[in-house]
């Protein structure tokens, strides 16, 4: 199957699979990551077919919604790509990216081996910060029945993926445990530049949040 046809079939498949998802990991998250990844890939001279398929399939079975099973996503992606007669080398490259893309805690390194992996990871992380990232964070917190904020519960800098998986803290803590750390974890020059403004917006938002929380009118 020609790459452009496989990409289009994959787009339609993912759009159908994630329609109506309400935690911030919906089709429109995928669409934004896909769009960002294509733009970054062109600047970084990455393989667009690998980048596009990885971006489209990266959350097809996210561990946060599979009982913590981080293998289900790559497995589901492989089944789809095999069904559509993708080349085995392409399947391996895409599934490697899906298996290693996730943030796993403040103290857990998550290096990407290929430029394509770096591009898709950056695009995914860019969608986790800034105005959209804030909206997604609260959508996820609500989906998981988490408090918005509790002043007596400080952030935890998780040192293992298992510890991070078990986290049930309030949503504001997630800014400190992940979102505010992402700017310095970007892989590519393109993403580093884009992350600066989004990071600054989050800092301004938190400043305003605390003022209103404390009764500042």
Indicate the helix (H) or strand (E) that contains 49.
Answer: helix 48-57
Residue 26 has pLDDT above 70, yes or no: yes
Q: Which carries the bigger pLDDT value, residue 70 or residue 56?
A: 56
List CB contacts of 59: < 8 A, sequence separation 6 or more.
18, 25, 29, 30, 73
Compute the average pLDDT of residues 153-163: 91
CATH 1.10.3210.50 fits 3-213, yes or no: yes
Work out the pLDDT band at 65, boundaries 50, 70, 90: low
Residue 125 CA to residue 135 CA, distance in Å, equals 14
pLDDT at 22: 83
Residue 39 CA to residue 123 CA, distance in Å, equals 9
Q: What is the DSSP string of 67-135?
A: TT-TTHHHHHHHHHHHHTT--HHHHHHHHHHHHH-S---TT-----SSHHHHHHHHHHHHTTSHHHHHH
Angstrom CA distances, 179 to 106, 133, 136, 195, 206, stand at 10, 8, 11, 11, 12
Residue 51 has pLDDT above 90, yes or no: yes
pLDDT at 205: 98
Residue 62 has pLDDT above 80, yes or no: no
- Kindly list the domain boundaries of the chain, sorted by start residue: 3-213
Rg, Å, the chain Cα set: 17
Q: Which carries the bigger pLDDT value, residue 29 or residue 162?
A: 29
Q: Which carries the bigger pLDDT value, residue 64 or residue 136?
A: 136
Other residues' Cβ atoms within 10 Å of the Cβ of residue 68 = 12
Residue 199 CA to residue 130 CA, distance in Å, equals 6
pLDDT at 206: 98
Asked whether the whole model's pTM tops 0.85, one would answer yes
pLDDT at 41: 97
* Percent composition of the chain: helix, strand, coil (DSSP 3-state, to 5): 65, 0, 35
Compute the average pLDDT of residues 38-43: 96
Residue 103 has pLDDT above 70, yes or no: yes
Quote the tokens at residue 107: 């103290």
Compute the average pLDDT of residues 145-150: 96
Q: Which carries the bigger pLDDT value, residue 68 or residue 92?
A: 92
């Amino acid at each position: 199957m020609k790459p452009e046809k496989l990409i289009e079939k994959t787009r339609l498949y993912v759009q159908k699979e994630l329609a109506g998802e309400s935690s911030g990991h919906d089709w429109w998250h995928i669409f934004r990551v896909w769009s960002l990844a294509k733009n970054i890939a062109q600047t970084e001279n990455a393989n667009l077919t690998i980048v596009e398929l990885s971006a489209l399939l990266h959350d097809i079975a996210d561990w946060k919604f599979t009982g913590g099973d981080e293998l289900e996503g790559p497995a589901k992606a492989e089944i789809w790509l095999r069904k559509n007669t993708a080349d085995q080398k392409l399947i391996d490259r895409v599934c490697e990216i899906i298996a290693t893309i996730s943030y796993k805690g403040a103290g857990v390194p998550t290096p990407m081996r290929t430029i394509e992996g770096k591009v898709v990871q950056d695009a995914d992380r860019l969608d986790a910060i800034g105005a959209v990232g804030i909206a997604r964070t609260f959508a996820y917190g609500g989906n998981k029945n988490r408090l918005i904020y509790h002043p007596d519960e400080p952030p935890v800098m998780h040192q293992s993926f298992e510890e991070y998986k078990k986290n049930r803290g309030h949503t504001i803590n997630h800014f400190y445990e992940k979102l505010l750390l992402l700017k310095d974890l970007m892989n590519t020059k393109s993403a580093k530049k884009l992350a600066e403004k989004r990071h600054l917006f989050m800092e301004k938002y938190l400043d305003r949040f605390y003022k209103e929380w404390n009764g500042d009118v």
